[in-house]
Amino acid sequence: MEGEILKSNALLGVHLGTKSGRNSGVKLGYSQIANPIYLWRKGTFPMRRAVAPIFRNVISNLVKCLHPEPWIDRKGRLRGNIIAFTDLAKGKMIPTRILEIE
């Protein structure tokens, strides 16, 4: 059962990402595409809010692949982006697919 969706300008998000590389770049890249699309399809995210981070992340991963930061797996993220777009084209994109990705 899902609860009520509320919106408030009083909320603040905190980013708890680390530079230590504990997460797979491929999985993060997949989630950069799959999560916004899932939220848009679910109706909790407008399309323009889903497309903007997808576009920004893919462009960033593409450009920075040439000279990646040593603590960020840009090639892995880009590979995850490609897997997500492939799944989207096949109609098989779901966020839980990330559990199957190495």
Q: Got the DSSP string for 14-54?
A: -----SS--S-HHHHHHHHHHHHHHHHHHTSS-HHHHHHHH
**Euclidean distance between CA atoms 67 and 9, whole angstroms:** 37
Determine the residue type at 8.
S
- 31 falls in which pLDDT band (50, 70, 90)? very high
Question: What's the confidence (pLDDT) of residue 19?
Answer: 61
Q: Do residues 78 and 29 touch, judged by C-beta distance below 8 A? A: yes
What percentage of the chain exceeds 70 in pLDDT?
Answer: 85
Task: Give domain limits for the chain.
Answer: 25-100
pTM: 0.78
3-class DSSP string for 4-22: CCCCCCCCCCCCCCCCCCC
**Euclidean distance between CA atoms 29 and 24, whole angstroms:** 9
